[in-house]
Amino acid sequence: MKRLIASLGLTVALGALQADCLAAPAVSDEIPARLIRFADLNLSHTADVAVLYTRIEDAASLVCELYSSRDLARNLRFRHCKADAIDRAVADVHAPLLTLRHAALTKRQVLAPQALRLNP
């Protein structure tokens, strides 16, 4: 599959449930998502992996922007949402070099996509 859907609906919902003291704003019933195309990239080349990783980061920022704020609690939610979104997108691609890049940048191990889902 030469495209990746970076869907953050579960991540955004989890972020809202994790903060007991903060109410999540009701923005819409639609699950935020961004389509990331990468048919133009060869994921066996590190330069193309870097391009895809940047696209994933950008899409995660857009999907999680609901939480973007100067408020410390909301900013923390934004950072968690974005990190979870990137983890899911990297896992969904199944590209070894992308996984290695992500692990090197975040110092975290990427789990298999099914391990990241609420309802497998």
Rounded average pLDDT over 9-20: 31
CA–CA gap between residue 103 and residue 105 (Å, rounded) = 6
> Taking the model in full, what pTM does it have?
0.68
Instruction: Check if the beta carbon of residue 91 is closer than 8 Å to that of residue 111.
Output: yes
How do residues 47-79 score in pLDDT, each as one tens digit? 999 999 999 999 999 988 877 777 888 888 888
Task: Using the predicted structure, report yes or no on whether residue 2 has a pLDDT greater than 50.
Answer: no
Ranges of each domain in the chain: 3-115
